[in-house]
Amino acid sequence: MSDEQEKKSQPKGRFPFTVVRHVVQVLILVLFAVPVVAAGWSLFGGTLGGNDAIRTPADLPFFGTLSSSSVFGITLLDPFAVLQTIAASKSFSLDWLIGLLPLLVVYALIRGRVFCGWVCPVNLLLEIVDWLRKKLHVNVEEHAVPRHAKVYVALGVLVLSAVLSFPVFEALSPVGFIVKGIVFGGVAGGITLLAIILAELFWGHRVWCRSICPLGGFYEVVGKVGLVNVKIDHETCIGCNKCKKVCLCDPEILEPAVDGGDSIVRAGDCMLCGKCIETCPVKALDIKIGR
């Protein structure tokens, strides 16, 4: 089925998850860029502010990146970045714990990989690459990589951070590259991002996010306890498997629900992207709070 036919076959009256998600992803990038511009700097590391400019964006109520930000003086830290810092420095600070708790609690309560689906700019970029690939009719032979590999990569990153005494993924992160690059400039992580795009084009569909990204692996573990889930109505489902074909994570995470063994998508790596819900022709899928 072509993209156009697929689009026409989608049921009407569903919440437009994909459009809303993309708007949120772009707004988050804008949100991080605004303080820098407001402080009189230019983006990409430029500092063109005049005499009236605020000396530093950190003086504003909101400032930071996805790894570390400050909202009205409250520090928000990416929990996985903190774990890497603890491993690298072999020390622990109560401030780090206080800084990581708000994000950890929010993501744990909702679903860890909601970060991947709704916040991470790499996901947005890879969806654009995927769309382009379809438009240009570039067919890729899929090379399956087990989806839980990313959890072991996350563990490996922590061990490596301890051995090398620096937070390894923070230095190479494509997520940091996009946000920090827009705000401050810099190329760290650019090679990782290029490798991810090449893997997307020539190795397999979403292989980085599905199976390799350590941040995704960390949030997969956190996501196991999430309270917001995709639920299925077994009486309505006709077993067409269209939901599996569009899943942004991996078709197999929908299997227990579609096969009748579970009433929700329980896998920790569901990113609540809503693609399956939008696509289901009989509206058998929806969002449910609670497990």
230 is a site residue for ligand SF4 (CB under 6 A) = yes
Q: Which C-beta is closer to ligand SF4: that of 98 or that of 227?
A: 227
What gap in Å lies between CA 196 and CA 252, rounded to an integer?
Answer: 22
242 is a site residue for ligand SF4 (CB under 6 A) = yes
Alpha helices in the chain (DSSP H): 3-8, 17-38, 79-89, 94-110, 114-118, 121-135, 149-164, 168-172, 174-184, 190-202, 207, 214-223, 242-246, 255-258, 275-279
Kindly write down the DSSP assignment for every residue of 235-261, as one continuous string.
TT-----HHHHH-SS-GGGGHHHHTTS
Residues 171-200 close enough to bind ligand SF4 by CB under 6 A: 175
CB of 87 to ligand SF4, least distance (A): 19
Q: Which amino acid is residue 259, in one-letter code?
A: D
One character per residue 245-264, x = contact with ligand SF4 (rule: CB under 6 A): --xxx---xx---x------
42 is a site residue for ligand SF4 (CB under 6 A) = no
161 is a site residue for ligand SF4 (CB under 6 A) = no
Options 183, 207, 222, 284; binder of ligand SF4; rule CB under 6 A:
284
Q: Which stretch binds ligand SF4 (CB under 6 A): 60-68, 82-90, 186-194, 271-279?
A: 271-279
Q: Are 236 and 174 in contact (CB under 8 A)?
A: no
Beta bridge partners of 230: 287
Options 107, 237, 264, 268; binder of ligand SF4; rule CB under 6 A:
237
CB of 94 to ligand SF4, least distance (A): 27
CB of 216 to ligand SF4, least distance (A): 3
- Residue 254 tokens, joined: 């929908």
Q: Which stretch binds ligand SF4 (CB under 6 A): 44-52, 159-167, 179-187, 208-216?
A: 208-216
Q: Which C-beta is closer to ligand SF4: that of 239 or that of 261?
A: 239
Q: Which stretch binds ligand SF4 (CB under 6 A): 8-16, 60-68, 183-191, 282-290?
A: 282-290
Sort 22 into a burial class: Cβ within 10 Å, 0-12 / 13-18 / 19+: middle
Expressed in angstroms, the distance from the first to the final Cα of the chain is 34
Q: Which C-beta is closer to ligand SF4: that of 20 or that of 282?
A: 282
What gap in Å lies between CA 25 and CA 36, rounded to an integer?
Answer: 18
| Tally of CB atoms within 10 A around 266 | 17
Q: Which C-beta is closer to ligand SF4: that of 13 or that of 50?
A: 13
Task: Count the alpha carbons within 13 Å of 240 in the hemisphere toward its beta carbon.
Answer: 16
What gap in Å lies between CA 281 and CA 89, rounded to an integer?
Answer: 52
216 is a site residue for ligand SF4 (CB under 6 A) = yes
Distance of CA 277 to CAs 10, 219, 266, Å? 10, 22, 15
Options 120, 154, 158, 199; binder of ligand SF4; rule CB under 6 A:
120
Binding site for ligand SF4 (CB under 6 A): 116, 120, 122-123, 175, 209, 213, 215-216, 230, 232, 237-243, 247-249, 253-254, 258, 265, 270-276, 280, 282, 284-285
